[in-house]
Structure 1
């Protein structure tokens, strides 16, 4: 396989060096069709490799929490794209051979094959294997004419073509399949921008969508004729109001060992003189005006670290890393410190670098933030952790993974 892929790569390189402008119109269109078929066939190879990596447990053996996270780090993909690769690889592995052949032969693209596989699975459940086999043939023929969106729409009536005697009874099954797909595909992605803002993307299932609309619609109406905010800005402000209401309710569970709260770190002098900026536990900075405004809200806890009575090194007197010490740890590590992990601080445990049972003290110099998965992984594997010369954690991989055992660091959370 490696030899074949090397030859394919060399052939593609030759095509890149060729001049498309020299082709006749007929040859240009033919080349475009050929490139599309090749892309789909390479996708089939990629999915078979992803399925094998997932089946072998390669990702977890190398310290990743899942195959999707491993692919994100290895191939520099978005975690959503990596997760979809793993899901589609599993779906194709369980699908009839004709579905896999459609992609391997360049008959349909990845999204069309995803639709075909899901539709065939629904037909199999509703009408049995014989009807499912007929559905594959019909859907593959349709894939040569229709894109994935229209193919999905036509697929809702596939039983009228392959098993009309059960079409009516299967309508409810299709509805339930849609509900299951909505539950599977639900997600919200929070992406941090370079200037500290967040981009929210995602798909809500029907129930969550109704809850969100019910919660923010009353809060996103214009406040009067002088309200110059756009509709999008009003929805933004409404979502922030909903979050404030949830925090004020006091019924949210503890998170990361502390009560759910917004923590702002600033100096006492800066706060009292109205001149000091503040930092959230995510590392983002706030203006002095924002710090003062948050400090006035009884539902938000201002955190002033390093002042009298707040010792950051508590030695052997305490085992648990909580309070000011944990906040200092969050400000240093920003999240799970294991290489390649993007888990935020609220999802993390505080790990003693030298274990408490072995005489390690409870101090900032002997602590590191780790998510639940990597906390367990460090305890039962040969990875070692230490603080580098700059006071930030670095991890030494086991010799079987890296014979040179070069130290690795997390690059997702570093901001300095």
Structure 2
């Protein structure tokens, strides 16, 4: 039960001081032009504004911590205004989401003192965190991390140990004269270490619960022929994949000393977004895994993408085929790239659909050819691309449909991203004497590359 009393002199003075603070802040806000600040002034001002922000956060939490009692008491403050709940009312008043309001209310209750029926004040449930928040030493985000971690083990750990852990975590998070405050991600990490020490029996069930939630889902194909992917990866799996993608995306590149005047052009030659680069990195990783010697079999054969296309469609520039499992037609250019990488088998069908004959695998570069091409190219041959050979595909420079042979003198290494665009993008490839030459942004003359990935002086034009 909550008793409300008319506003006294203290409350009037409090509201007046807040109003004056708002007015006092308006002037420097309008006058602030960060670009005009020196480096030292900028750093100092960021720290001072953050200190001010933490004081504002403390006031927000104080008010939010009392929100639910306003709805549960005999006088429903928020209900009188037409709000369904305290969170709904706070969200409307503060201009935030209901989820944010709910989180703020929960955290506010954890760090806000409460009043007994006699009007006596009782300490906040997390009084060490509350004191740091009130002093402006701890912000909302860090306080929320500590409260969630400590509440998660409160039923299994003695109050004395929990109180000592809270005190130690606040000292680490808020900082002291000896060390600065921690970033929130480091606060989360330190809190996990503390919790594991004071609740060792809880770490294993937590890991087991997390592993039971692991999943990988493939959604329904979109109208554009894309496959939605979602899921939760086990920590070590996710980190491994992230590191692989980052390593692929950040592979070292080598500038062409003979194209210094066109460096900007060369750097800007890759128009892909970060998300597109991550996708292409994953495509290269999947491709490399499918080519591995110990890749798992499907029905006794290596995993394969089944494409159905007529011989006539392969000869048409605008022809298309169908990939088994996808409803969206696939253009011939994409089929050609798949055939470059994985080969093909010709199946002759009767008009009724009966299989009349099945040829052997053709066109795909075999392992020994790939090794020789790798020794020559070293990786993707496009200037500035650092993708290693193991993650590249072998491309027919002269297309197979144009009579190009499956021979090392007609094959070059391209990463998945460049292989997708080689027929329509800015780069061109030729093979005089069996040596890869490229021409494109920043390389207006035909240029060849060695395995060391350093560009040599241009040779006479070959066409």
Scaled by the length of structure 1, the TM-score of the pair is: 0.41
Larger Rg: 2
Scaled by the length of structure 2, the TM-score of the pair is: 0.37
